[in-house]
Amino acid sequence: MPDILFSHPSYKNKTVYATAGSHTETVLQIARENKIPINFKCQDGKCGKCLVKVTSLADKERMAGPLTDKERSVLVELGKLTQEQIDTMLVDDFPCEWRLACQIIVRDEDLMVEY
């Protein structure tokens, strides 16, 4: 099961060991269950309040996760994703470093989530 290191400049880092069944949970749900104060509002990929930066803690390259259309548009609106990056992600299976915590489903990789 993957480890998720939640990091914020004003709070102590916290590592959460994702448990069985977490592959159906979003990073926001896991954060809330573990009392990690990630901002959120809609929980539906529309408001952009839960913006986080995601990097892999594993030696291997990050797994790309598909962005939904609404997540993609919010990230573009927030200036965190360009059309060129979208094109690269689609062709090269390139993961986006900026994500919405309410839209990321945990996969089998250790992550750092900066919020």
Helix (H, G, I), strand (E, B) or coil at 20: coil
Closest by CA to 112, choosing from 52, 36, 65, is 52
| Min dist. Cβ of residue 71 to ligand FES (A) | 8
Among 2, 7, 42, 55, binds ligand FES (CB under 6 A): 42
Rule CB under 6 A: choose which of 13, 33, 37, 41 binds ligand FES: 41
Cα angle vertex 9, ends 25, 5, to 5°? 35
* Amino acid making up residue 92: D
Task: Retrieve residue 94's tokens.
Answer: 């390139």
Q: Among 6-14, 15-23, 41-49, 58-66, which window interacts with ligand FES (CB under 6 A)?
A: 41-49
Which residue in the set 46, 53, 80, 107 belongs to the binding site for ligand FES (CB under 6 A)?
A: 46
Amino acid of residue 36: I
- Binding-site ranges for ligand FES (CB under 6 A): 40-43, 45-50, 100, 102
